[in-house]
Structure 1
Amino acid sequence: MQFHIENMTCGGCARGVTRAIQGVDPDASVTTDPPTRSVKVETTASESEIVSALNGAGFPPVRE
């Protein structure tokens, strides 16, 4: 699944996004790209779990 996260603008934000996702699924593969504000996630967790974790961390995602 892939998301656009408008407020992921730097490496620190990208680490926060990765931590939030891996808090749900420690084995998730997370690829972040702050310049385009996109994140690609390969996980066994549901999309709703990932969205909830990102919202809770202050990084509201939009599905791409």
Structure 2
Amino acid sequence: MYELQVEEMSCGHCASSVTKSVQAVDAQAKVEVDLAQRKVRVDSSAELDKIAAAIVAAGYPVVGRATL
């Protein structure tokens, strides 16, 4: 399980875009987006770096990350 601090998310469309970007790396990933706190929790077997890179590529800066 990973937790990422993701900036510039403000709406449902943003949450959907982030979720889709993560699931492009791992189709089985479980993604929870908290828009208020700008946090994304990901349950995935993929590498954290690949997940973060996919979110950045979707246009959302990842400013923090942790393995839970």
Give the TM-score of the pair, scaled to structure 2: 0.88
Percent same amino acid at aligned positions? 38
What's the counterpart of residue 30 of structure 1? 31
What's the counterpart of residue 39 of structure 1? 40
Secondary structure of 2:56's aligned partner: helix
Structure 2 residues not aligned, in runs of 5+: none
What's the counterpart of residue 61 of structure 2? 60
Q: CA RMSD in A?
A: 0.9
1:55 and 1:5 map into 2 onto residues whose CA distance is: 9
Which amino acid is 2:65 matched to? R
Structure 1 residues not aligned, in runs of 5+: none
2:11 and 2:57 map into 1 onto residues whose CA distance is: 19
Paired positions, count: 64
* 1:6-54 C-alpha deviation (Å, 9 max, x unpaired): 1111111000000000000000000001111111000010011101101
Larger % of strand: which?
2
Structure 1: 4+ residue segments shifted above 3 A: none
Which amino acid is 2:48 matched to? E
1:35 and 1:60 map into 2 onto residues whose CA distance is: 16
